[in-house]
Amino acid sequence: MSTAGKIRPKLTIRKFSEDAINSYMEKLDDIEYSYPSDQEILIHIDSYGGPVYGLFMLLDRLEIMSNPIVTYTSSKAMSAGAFLLAIAGNKGSRFASKDASILIHEVQTGAIGDIKDVEDSINHSKALNNRLLDKFAKAIGKKNAAQIREMIKSKVEGHDLTITAEDAKKLGIIDEVCSINIQPYKHWNIVKIKK
């Protein structure tokens, strides 16, 4: 498929803060308005992660778009970035460069306050965590959040599972290890890695 010279929309995700998410939403609105519904959109992830609320907001927005979504990380997709990489991309269109780092962990909470506030915060975080892990499980071909917890626990002693692109492919988080040539102003092409 030759797409050289063709303008193809892209959005780079670095943060999941409220301001960043609002900016992404505006850009997605512009893309949806400016391009036909069959035009692929590249979501380029270069992120250390961020708040789960921002991730859910972005996932919800991408889910209602009729455009095919391609996800890619060339450097790092950590925490919320890793979940976005796996969940938002259409099957067969989730990519990572060979040197990318992908980090997965469960939702973290910084609960403070009296005991009741902390308990409420923990219960809310558990519900968010289950929702996120269930979405992630579905995206990578697992049954549910419990299977994701077991996958993480079986591979690390701590809380974070950091993996290579090749390992991410084996786990079903991405579909292919390759490079995407991202040029200025909305040009991008998939470049297969030579073995």
One-letter amino acid of 128 = L
Question: Looking at 105, 125, 179, 187, which residue is catalytic?
Answer: 105
187 is catalytic: no
The CA distance from 132 to 71, in Å, is: 18
- 48: Cα separation from own chain's centroid: 11
Determine contact, residues 110/123, Cβ cutoff 8 Å.
Answer: no
Question: Looking at 79, 101, 125, 154, which residue is catalytic?
Answer: 79
Angle at 48 between CA 44 and CA 50, to 5 degrees: 100
The CA distance from 135 to 86, in Å, is: 9
The CA distance from 7 to 147, in Å, is: 40
124 is catalytic: no
Angle at 66 between CA 179 and CA 24, to 5 degrees: 65
What does the CA dihedral 47, 176, 86, 7 come to, rounded to 10 degrees? Answer: 70
Active site residue ranges:
79, 105
